[in-house]
């Protein structure tokens, strides 16, 4: 959409855009993004220092997080009645520059995106048990439509596939336990009392009482690994988010689709968490191609349902994410 650029963004508009962007989810809440505001353009950069060398060596999950932040920017722009022209990977010579958004005055992307704005501060990763209550077919369809609107597909797993995915997730957990570098890196981001980033102990939820569980236990610290247990739902509702292709551009597409699905889920009163151990290891990721029934690349595995309210994870101060004119990303 090519609209007249209009006047420079006000300080209030920049603040609203920035605070929306940084509420996006990221692996272990690393918040691996920086933003540069120039006239009516927002450039989104990867923060390489906050990527996970052991758990995410190719940066795929970091790019999903960046994509989620971009979707939040677009939602915030829509609520300001600003249009967005989004260019992915705009400069091959600057690999950390992932997205450039140009904001116009053409009325935004419509009421659908603007209507998701109230869900941005309410979205959570919920690792607690969910109720044994099916998601309504109309809501399932709405979530699939949210993914499709961003160029991705959301495949709902049937009962047999759910059992298979849970079995694979358990295998992936055991596989991870053999990787000391991965465990040490995770321990730097997960557990304890945190007020800026990472996943605090209070956000881990209870330990699953079952051997086959629909929730991922990220605990590393011995005290966290000994926390109380709870029984999780017997009939979890799982879905695979996939893109037609793979690679950095598709990862950014997937991140926007994932966040749009999560915001629509939040608007419908649903809780969500991720079983991303299934997509972090290529041998397990390749096994997910089967239920997708098509030439698609699995990017995330979601658990959705009706859960209790949980607290938000922390964020760094908003100004920590802004690149100044004299800074090199």
What interhelical angle do 248-267 and 137-149 show, nearest 10? 150
Domains of the chain (ranges; CATH) run 11-118 (3.40.109.10), 137-305 (3.40.109.10)
* 223 token code pair: 């005290």
Output the pLDDT for position 2: 46
Measured distance CA(34)–CA(98) in Å, rounded: 10
Please state the pTM of the whole predicted model.
0.96
Phi, psi of 68 (to 5 degrees): -65, -40
Question: What are the φ/ψ torsions at residue 185 (nearest 5 degrees)?
Answer: -60, -45
Residue 291 is predicted with a pLDDT of 52
> Do the beta carbons of residue 268 and residue 139 sit within 8 Å?
yes
Collapsing DSSP to helix, strand or coil, 31 comes out as: coil
pLDDT at 1: 45
pLDDT (0 to 100) of residue 210: 83
Which residue, among 152, 72, 86, 150, has the nearest Cα to 114 in the 3D structure? Answer: 72
Over its length of 329 residues, how does the chain's per-residue pLDDT go in tens digits? 445 556 889 999 999 999 999 999 999 999 999 999 999 999 999 999 999 999 999 999 999 999 999 999 999 999 999 999 999 999 999 999 999 999 998 776 778 999 999 999 999 999 999 999 999 999 999 999 999 999 999 999 999 999 999 999 999 999 999 999 999 999 999 999 999 999 999 999 999 998 788 999 999 999 999 999 999 999 999 999 999 999 999 999 999 999 999 999 999 999 999 999 999 998 999 888 755 455 589 999 999 999 999 999 999 999 999 998 777 77
pLDDT on residue 263: 99
Rounded Cα gap, residues 318 and 329, in angstroms: 17
Contact in structure between 73 and 95 (CB atoms under 8 Å) = no
pLDDT of residue 306: 99
DSSP 117: G
Pairing of strands 153-156, 237-243: antiparallel
Q: Which is it for strands 207-208 and 229-230: parallel, antiparallel or unpaired?
A: parallel
pLDDT score at 3: 55
Strand partners, 285: none
């Amino acid at each position: 959409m090519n609209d007249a650029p209009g006047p420079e963004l006000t300080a209030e508009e920049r603040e609203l855009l920035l605070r929306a962007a940084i509420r996006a989810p990221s692996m272990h809440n690393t918040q691996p993004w920086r933003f540069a505001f120039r006239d009516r353009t927002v450039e989104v950069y990867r923060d390489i220092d906050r990527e996970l060398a052991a758990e995410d060596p190719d940066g795929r999950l970091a790019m999903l997080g960046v994509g989620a932040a971009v979707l939040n920017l677009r939602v915030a722009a829509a609520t300001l009645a600003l249009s967005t022209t989004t260019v992915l990977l705009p400069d091959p010579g600057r690999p950390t520059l992932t997205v450039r958004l140009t904001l116009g005055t053409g009325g935004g992307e419509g009421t659908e995106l603007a209507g998701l704005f109230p869900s941005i501060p309410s979205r959570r990763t919920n690792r607690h048990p969910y109720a044994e209550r099916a998601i309504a077919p109309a809501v399932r369809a709405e979530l699939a439509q949210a993914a499709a609107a961003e160029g991705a597909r959301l495949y709902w797993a049937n009962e047999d596939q759910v059992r298979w995915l849970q079995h694979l997730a358990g295998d992936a957990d055991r596989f991870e336990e053999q990787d000391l570098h991965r465990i040490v890196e995770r321990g730097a981001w997960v557990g304890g009392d945190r007020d800026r980033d990472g996943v605090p102990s209070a956000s881990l939820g209870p330990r699953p009482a079952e051997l086959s569980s629909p929730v991922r236990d990220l605990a590393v610290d011995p005290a966290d690994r000994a926390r109380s247990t709870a029984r999780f739902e017997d009939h979890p509702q799982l879905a695979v988010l996939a893109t037609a292709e793979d690679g950095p551009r598709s990862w950014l597409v997937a991140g926007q689709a994932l966040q749009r699905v999560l915001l629509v889920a939040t608007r419908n009163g649903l809780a969500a968490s991720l079983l991303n151990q299934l997509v972090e290891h290529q041998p397990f990721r390749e096994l997910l191609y089967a239920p997708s029934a098509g030439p698609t690349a699995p990017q995330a595995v979601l658990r959705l349902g009706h859960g209790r309210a949980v607290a938000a994870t922390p964020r760094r101060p908003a100004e920590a994410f802004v690149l100044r004119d004299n800074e090199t990303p």
